[in-house]
Amino acid sequence: MHIISFVSGKGGSGKTTLTANVAVALARRGHSVVAIDLDPQNALGLHLGLEATEEGGLAREGIRRSAMFESPFGVHFIPFGRLTTEELPEFHAFLRDHPDWLAQSLAALPRSEFRFVLLDTPPGPTPYLRQALHAAHRVLVCGLADAASYATLPQMMALVEEYTHDRPQFLGAHPIINQMPVNGRLGHQVRSAVATEYGATLAPVSVHRDPRVAHALASEQPVVEYDPAAMASLDIEYLADWLIDLADL
């Protein structure tokens, strides 16, 4: 079982889009995948063609079969679920008191059941980020090719280091650039600055900005399914191949 978490300092950097699409790309290659939404906004299901239900989900049921749905795109999925405004702070307090809750719950899954577990998180330093970093083998730190994302990257990388340095199972944090502009120099300037700073840990592919991503979401499909020939789909397929190679090492 290989656990990969998508994190970022800022919202809107593509964590949810990449989690859903990488999950489907891995499943298309024959791997068993469960995608887990650690964000109370419940957005991941939209990308996977599943509405969040009133009952069930991670927050009420934890990591178990009864909390799991089968997406029409061949991946298993655990939504965050719906908590009331009173319940949410209680759940946060529980997570703070049990920082290894997610890691332990995942460790209790039958080993052979899932080759990949993908974790989507809310932006910034939340109790969910800590849970995800205590569980993950690898982290993709998502950012846009802009100055704001670039400026928050060191903070996020430091946070990842803080939460993972004492875990020998942790294999690495990889910055990845999403919404790479198709034209112009800015994207390349940001990419080479990140490469200079973080070297070979930088993901070998950036995901291009592609209007097909929004079109896909509007029809509640991952873009790799909606338009496999779209530029963003090809980038995500490459990303999935790279993650498979790393998991096989």
Ligand X SMILES: Nc1ncnc2c1ncn2[C@@H]1O[C@H](COP(=O)(O)OP(=O)(O)O)[C@@H](O)[C@H]1O
Nearest approach in angstroms of CB 128 to Mg ion is: 11
Crossing angle between the packed helical segments 147-164 and 186-198, to the nearest 10 degrees: 20
Nearest approach in angstroms of CB 12 to ligand X is: 4
- Tell me the sheet residues that pair with 141: 7, 175
Q: Which range of residues in 13-21, 28-36, 51-59, 191-199 is near Mg ion by CB under 5 A?
A: 13-21
**β-bridge pairing 69-70 and 76-78:** antiparallel
By the rule CB under 6 A, 33 interacts with ligand X:
no
By the rule CB under 6 A, 124 interacts with ligand X:
no
Residue number with the smallest Cβ distance to Mg ion: 16
Cα distances (angstroms) measured from residue 174 to each of 25, 52, 63, 171, 198 = 19, 30, 26, 10, 8
Crossing angle between the packed helical segments 211-218 and 231-248, to the nearest 10 degrees: 90
By the rule CB under 5 A, 121 interacts with Mg ion:
no
Dist CA 239 CA 49 (whole Å)? 22
Among 11, 72, 89, 228, binds ligand X (CB under 6 A): 11
For residue 8, the partner it binds in Mg ion, ligand X, none, with Cβ less than 5 to 8 A by kind, is: ligand X
Strands (E), 57-196: 69-70, 76-78, 116-120, 138-144, 172-180
By the rule CB under 5 A, 206 interacts with Mg ion:
no
CB of 38 or CB of 203, closer to Mg ion:
38
Dist CA 217 CA 226 (whole Å)? 9
Among 4, 103, 232, 243, binds ligand X (CB under 6 A): 232
Instruction: Determine how many CB atoms are found less than 10 A away from the CB of residue 30.
Output: 8
By the rule CB under 6 A, 221 interacts with ligand X:
no
Number of C-alpha atoms within 13 angstroms, CB side, residue 161? 6
Instruction: Determine how many CB atoms are found less than 10 A away from the CB of residue 75.
Output: 27
The site string for Mg ion over 70-89 (x = CB under 5 A, - otherwise) reads --------------------
By the rule CB under 6 A, 17 interacts with ligand X:
yes
By CB under 6 A, the residues from 181 to 220 that bind ligand X are 207, 209-210, 213-214, 217
Among 5, 8, 13, 16, binds Mg ion (CB under 5 A): 16
For residue 217, the partner it binds in Mg ion, ligand X, none, with Cβ less than 5 to 8 A by kind, is: ligand X
CB 202, CB 192: distance < 8 Å: no
Q: Which range of residues in 11-19, 69-77, 99-107, 192-200 is near ligand X by CB under 6 A?
A: 11-19
Chain residues in the site for ligand X (CB under 6 A): 8, 11-17, 43, 142, 178-179, 207, 209-210, 213-214, 217, 232
